[in-house]
A and B are shown apart, each in its own frame.
Chain A
């Protein structure tokens, strides 16, 4: 373990003495956040949400259904599209390939009133129909759930439930920066880990550093462990700077919990392993940069970092589903912004499995010397 610490210290010392690496790792993502945040600060990320209100009387929405629709509208997150109350909503969603549809059932208003007057917490249910294969559905679902839970919370407190018009539910408004910043943390984990792994491996191979290291008692797995920990630490450093920027400049409200930190660590592990796999097939530092760019650039743009996947074609959305960065970005948003723990844990599990697979394969095929 002492070898790992010694190599890690040398790597960190080298990092702190390399201005261009510090710029690209820490400063550049911040510049992007400031630029994109400033450009899109007045626009919000919006998701399409189809809504069928079956709770109508004489062609008009009932009080409670209308209230819920207004609250969903006021969140600023959704482009609400109305679905005719007479059609079968599930069939409609399938035939029109909708990712998210809310059904307010007939009797919703009565159920809500009953709950209010009988002091029960059984608020009328709405049904959320969604396509699980789309990345936006869990996000939309989590927002709708949080809005409904907020209503429930207000009612169960027993303070204003009779005065429903005074509901001051202020569902969280999500801006572009809320979408973008977690994505940038994922991108930083990816670029830091892949570029560092690929370029260091290529440089060390070409300059003979691997050759020299191989003549010492330092074992290969110790060096790989050191590089992995280094990438995790540098990514955490970048993440910390971005979070401070998001809070200080854009007033973001985020939750950084163990899940999100673990997810970032696993993302670094995954991309470090991926970098080592790439490095095995490049011969010199120039080729290393090119290979790293070939992998990272498409992933950056196709994994929903800069704009939601739902705004892309179905073909590109399908591609995004096989890109590991998609799970990092979506998972971090679910964990840090939308508070959807299930999605976060699901994505973390995927990243962890991929991370272990990548680092095992990367370690196995990394050679210091050709035999």
Chain B
């Protein structure tokens, strides 16, 4: 790569990281646009953290190139560190510093003078600002970690598994913060193994598996192209429904054990057309369920595995 698109905050080409015989990241290439939330989705050990740590200049690539804000990760480490914000997995710091002191400490490391009270307010820790770090819950620690990642007013923010291990309420709080970062015009690169997190937050998703990017697009397109079709489930209905529905040109299955009919929807037929067809034939049915396809299905379809199955080092 010799040039960097003005729209790209991050550009990666052929990035590889090997540990002996183990290939943690295998020649991946992608770019992240300025102002977007880009999610790297994959199970533990897929190579997400290794990739983000190479972009953060913490690990040296075995081969390949990468640029962050036009700066070469092989040559401009200090400049990248000054311009990027980082939330590591399970943010931790001096246990006996308060929330406010922690933000001031890291601000000092960047020689920056951020609005400390503003950052505390942003992450909703105003009533905890004088509490020692060791007394914060996991969710509050992550929120403080996000505030710390912003002390240098970064253009790019790397969030490595920002909500891992948090309860649902804390997780949604972190998501809300991340959405707020995008509204401020920040570029967010996040790694996650939570399908829902990537689907809700990300403008684009790169799916990584065994060190390779197996798909990269918007969540909607990935689901559309690689997910299963949306499914309509008709509870407690007659097997006669199957040939009736298939006349519409879509597939349907009858499950004898439950008495349910599963209809594999596509874009050519609407739910109301299916129901109208059944009604015209006097075929009764109980309750209706519509199951939407997700990134989980995309991952399963592309890799044959579910998220969380793979174990490894990275």
Contacts and interface: CB of A to CB of B under 8 A. Distances in A.
Interface string A7-29: 10011011001100000000000
Contacts of A13: 96-97, 101
A217 B101 contact: no
A214 B94 CA distance: 14
Interface of A: 2-3, 6-7, 10-11, 13-14, 17-18, 207-209, 211-218, 369, 371
A41 B91 CA distance: 52
B254 interface: no
A216 B106 CA distance: 8
Contact of A371 (B59, B93, B148): B59
A218 B101 contact: no
Nearest to A11: B94
A212 B92 contact: yes
Nearest to A207: B92
Query: Which of A18, A207, A212, A213 counts the most chain B CB atoms within 10 A?
Result: A212
A196 to B, nearest CB: 13
Report which residue of B53, B86, B94, B111 has the largest number of chain A beta carbons within 10 angstroms of its beta carbon.
B94
A14 B148 CA distance: 19
Contacts of A212: 86, 88, 91-93, 148
Contact of A18 (B84, B91, B96): B96
B94 A14 contact: yes
B166 interface: no
A215 B96 contact: no
Nearest to B84: A215
B291 to A, nearest CB: 39
B109 A17 contact: no
A6 B94 contact: no
A366 to B, nearest CB: 15
Nearest to A218: B109
Contacts of A211: 58, 88
A222 to B, nearest CB: 9
B108 A3 contact: yes
B95 interface: yes
Interface in B74-101: 78, 81-82, 84, 86, 88-97, 101
A208 B92 contact: yes
A208 B91 contact: yes
Contacts of B88: 208, 211-212, 215
A218 B78 CA distance: 10
